């Protein structure tokens, strides 16, 4: 957990700290303010006709305040044989001072420091919102044991422990409320600012803050598995990658800068050789160097992308890198998994059919199936386990558990081998076939339970679509201009039923994980940029094959969270169209920025070479475009995309 810059900083999370205080904590901001202040004093002294030593001194102090850091960074970069635009700016300002244009040079430094501070501020806001999601689980929790209350480390908490959560306390584990009522502030993992009411039966999450009530919570996940620690580990792993556009610009920047320095030297020496005077040759060369610098180009890409990533993070969408955001903007086809993605995390068990010849009772069959499913993280498995618990059935220990994604599970329970899984995969005889057929025609999901190779019965499950599923599908359809696809391992009838409920016309059912991959590959081969949305281990291969993959953060398995490019921490489907729309907005801003930057450079350089561009105008134009581009990027911090 050390590679991510966000995590190296051990200061407490800055979420909610006022912007002013946050800005003040940045050295870039403090130095920029100092440079501006000194510039103001110097200019005043200059205009009021004070002695030259005074305002020169103040101007030079302004140079130092605004220029030492970029200058130093530039020199360090130079030692690694890379040419930094920052260094060019400092050299240009020093050149301006050398030819007596100290006012213009100092102005250049001030505006330069200001745009640097703006950039630092944008980066900081991004880091703050990501950090808000991380590492906020408290160290200890109050556990109610046999001997009463005891304070234990949250790392030691086990599934089934009962926790007492006092008012105002940060919750130590993921679990279910068994008693009490309170409003819980879940902003740390969902980004949602309003507290959510919790009573018995509701889920609570580690790292969220209890309001004024007291809660008793039964721990449901081991501490390494909580939503917040999984997301944290994932963010830590994602390297602070750079956007492709940015990498391209940086590659070009090196050659461009070298060319620019050569041109500046030529602009200085050729007129001198032709007999021009030193001062005017220097002035021209300096002006050229300033206006030709690619500062605005360099600032065009990352600030907008980072601002968009911060914005998404505040709304519960974790985008793993800037490259992902670039890819999200290109999405032209959306493929969605069914169980756990379009449907709620845990379906309901709606029927138990025992095969009479098997000799099992209904409760016995359910208990066997639940015992076999207990180790599985699949939504169907959780539904079966929950149904057995609700019926008060005791689960039996399992040995040699194996699960085949998209097929089912197998385990040894006592002397029996129990298999629970898809009818298509486990095979069936005529009576069972009839049973399965009837349930499936009614749009149910069915799983077969086999004991020692013989079918013992069929379990019938119904899953409801998540809130807003139909809306999300419709918005995705209008954004991409293509029909979303439903890809599921479930039976065709259950799939069609759900597809009809949420408005998907293109349904592919009874798929194994490799079939999902084949469909995604086929679409990509036809030129589509596929976004795959899923939650299960069975979706991971298709996620890897898709252009960009999104996982459901709460129901999603570890593997899915790792494979995914972005994670929806709130499991809200409306975040899907929102993130695509945001990525497209970011792409538009980047394109506009690149155009603005390039236009300014071309016009100002052309003017300087062909006509006579006054130095102050050159400085104003160059720095103006840099700041314009920087501010344009910050617009993406605004919430617009999410309100729709
Ligand atoms: P989806 O693609 O809709 O998310 P899966 O591919 O995970 O569905 O599962 C496909 C089918 O495989 C399920 O409908 C079920 O019949 C069977 N199956 C997969 N995992 C399990 C499991 N743990 N227990 C029972 N059945 C399972
Ligand atoms: Mg699934």
Nearest CA to ligand 1 atom 14: 490
Residues of the chain with CATH 2.70.150.10: 140-225
Q: What is the pLDDT of residue 378?
A: 86
Residue to substitute in 347, 538, 540, 557 for testing ligand 1 pocket (most ligand atoms within 8 angstroms of CB)? 538
Identify which has the larger pLDDT, 485 or 19: 485
pLDDT at 6 over 50: no
Which residues, 6 or more positions from 399, have their beta carbon under 8 angstroms from its beta carbon? Answer: 411, 412, 413
Residues of the chain with CATH 3.40.1110.10: 345-465
pLDDT at 593 over 60: yes
Determine whether the shortest distance from the Cβ of 377 to ligand 1 is under 6 A: no
CATH topology of domain 140-225: 2.70.150
Most confidently modeled of 348-352, 403-407, 523-527, 557-561? 523-527
Alpha-carbon distance of 641 to 581, in angstroms, equals 7
pLDDT at 244 over 80: no
Locate tokens 């009874």: which residue? 510
Share above pLDDT 70 across residues of the chain, in percent, rounded to a whole number? 89
Surface-to-core class of residue 164, CB atoms within 10 Å of its CB (0-12 exposed, 13-18 middle, 19+ buried): middle
Which atom from ligand 1 is nearest to the alpha carbon of 343? Answer: 3
Q: Which protein residues have a CB closer than 5 Å to ligand 2 (ion)?
A: 337, 339-340, 535-536
State the CATH architecture for 345-465: 3-Layer(aba) Sandwich (3.40)
Alpha helices in 417-461 (DSSP H): 423-426, 430-441
Q: What is the pLDDT of residue 638?
A: 76
What tens digit of pLDDT does each residue of 383-393 get? Answer: 999 999 989 99
Average confidence (pLDDT) over 196-200: 90
Alpha-carbon distance of 173 to 165, in angstroms, equals 10
Q: What is the pLDDT of residue 33?
A: 93
> Any idea which ligand is nearest the CA of 552?
2
Terminal Cα-to-Cα distance of the chain (whole angstroms): 36
Which residues, 6 or more positions from 188, have their beta carbon under 8 angstroms from its beta carbon? Answer: 15, 132, 133, 136, 207, 208, 209, 228
Q: Contact, 570 vs 316, CB < 8 A?
A: yes
> Any idea which ligand is nearest the CA of 461?
1
Distance 485 CA to ligand 2 centre (A): 14
Nearest to 615 by CA among 249, 233, 343, 291: 291
Nearest CA to ligand 1 atom 2: 488
Identify which has the larger pLDDT, 426 or 310: 310
Alpha-carbon distance of 105 to 48, in angstroms, equals 20
Alpha-carbon distance of 188 to 205, in angstroms, equals 10
* CA 629, chain centre distance (Å): 23
pLDDT at 1 over 70: no
Note if 608 is an active site residue. Answer: no
Determine whether the shortest distance from the Cβ of 490 to ligand 1 is under 6 A: yes
């Amino acid at each position: 957990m050390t590679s991510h810059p966000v995590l190296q900083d051990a200061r407490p999370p800055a979420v909610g700290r006022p912007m002013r205080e946050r800005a003040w904590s940045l050295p870039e901001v403090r130095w920029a303010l100092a440079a501006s202040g000194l510039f103001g004093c110097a200019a005043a002294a200059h205009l009021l006709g004070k002695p030259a030593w005074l305002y020169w001194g103040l101007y030079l102090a302004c140079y130092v305040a605004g220029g030492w850091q970029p200058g130093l960074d530039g020199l360090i970069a130079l030692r690694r044989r890379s040419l930094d635009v920052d260094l060019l700016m400092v050299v240009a300002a020093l050149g301006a001072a050398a030819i007596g244009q100290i006012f213009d040079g100092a102005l250049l430094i001030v505006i330069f420091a200001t745009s640097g501070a703006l950039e630092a501020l944008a980066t900081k806001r991004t880091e703050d919102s990501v950090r808000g999601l991380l590492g906020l689980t408290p160290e200890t929790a109050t556990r109610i044991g046999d001997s009463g209350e005891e304070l234990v480390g949250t790392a030691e908490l086990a599934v089934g422990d009962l926790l007492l959560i006092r008012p105002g306390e940060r919750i130590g584990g993921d679990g279910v409320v068994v008693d009490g009522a309170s409003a819980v502030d879940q902003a740390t993992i969902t980004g949602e600012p309003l507290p959510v009411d919790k009573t018995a039966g509701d889920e609570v999450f580690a790292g969220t803050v209890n309001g004024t009530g007291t809660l008793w919570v039964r721990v449901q996940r081991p501490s390494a598995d909580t939503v917040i620690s999984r997301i944290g580990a994932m963010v830590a792993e994602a390297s602070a990658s750079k956007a492709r556009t940015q990498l391209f610009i940086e590659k070009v920047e090196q050659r461009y800068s070298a060319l620019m320095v050569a041109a500046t030297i030529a602009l200085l020496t050729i007129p001198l050789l032709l007999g021009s005077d030193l001062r005017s040759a220097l002035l021209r060369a300096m002006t050229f160097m300033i206006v030709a610098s690619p500062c605005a180009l360099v600032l065009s890409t990352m600030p907008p992308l980072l601002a968009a990533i911060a914005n998404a993070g505040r709304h519960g969408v974790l985008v793993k890198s800037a490259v992902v955001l670039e890819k999200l903007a290109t999405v032209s086809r959306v493929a969605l998994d069914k169980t756990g993605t379009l449907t709620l995390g845990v379906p309901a068990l709606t029927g138990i059919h025992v095969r009479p010849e098997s000799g099992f009772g209904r409760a016995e069959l359910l208990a066997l199936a639940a015992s076999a499913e207990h180790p599985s993280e699949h939504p169907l498995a959780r539904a079966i386990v929950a149904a057995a618990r609700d019926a008060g059935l005791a689960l039996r220990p399992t040995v040699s558990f194996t699960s085949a994604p998209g097929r089912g599970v197998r385990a040894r329970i006592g002397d029996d081998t129990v298999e629970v899984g898809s009818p298509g995969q486990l095979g069936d005889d005529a009576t069972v076939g009839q049973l399965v057929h009837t349930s499936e025609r009614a749009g149910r999901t069915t799983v077969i339970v086999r004991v020692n190779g013989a079918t013992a019965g069929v379990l019938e499950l119904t899953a409801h679509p998540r809130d807003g599923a139909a809306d999300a599908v419709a918005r995705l359809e209008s954004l991409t201009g293509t029909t979303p696809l439903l890809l599921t391992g479930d039976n065709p009838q259950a799939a069609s039923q759900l597809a009809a409920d949420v408005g998907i016309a293109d349904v592919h059912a009874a798929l194994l994980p490799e079939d999902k991959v084949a469909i995604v590959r086929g679409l990509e081969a036809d030129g589509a940029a596929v976004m795959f949305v899923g939650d299960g281990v069975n979706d991971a291969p298709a996620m890897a094959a898709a252009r960009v993959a999104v996982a459901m953060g709460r129901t999603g398995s570890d593997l899915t969270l790792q494979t995914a490019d972005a994670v929806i921490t709130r499991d809200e489907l409306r975040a899907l169209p929102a993130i695509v729309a945001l990525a497209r907005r970011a792409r538009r801003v980047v394109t506009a920025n690149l155009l603005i930057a390039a236009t300014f450079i071309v016009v100002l350089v052309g003017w300087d070479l062909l006509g006579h561009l006054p130095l102050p105008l050159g400085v104003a134009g160059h720095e103006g475009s840099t700041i314009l581009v920087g501010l344009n990027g910050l617009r993406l911090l605004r919430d617009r995309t999410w309100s729709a």
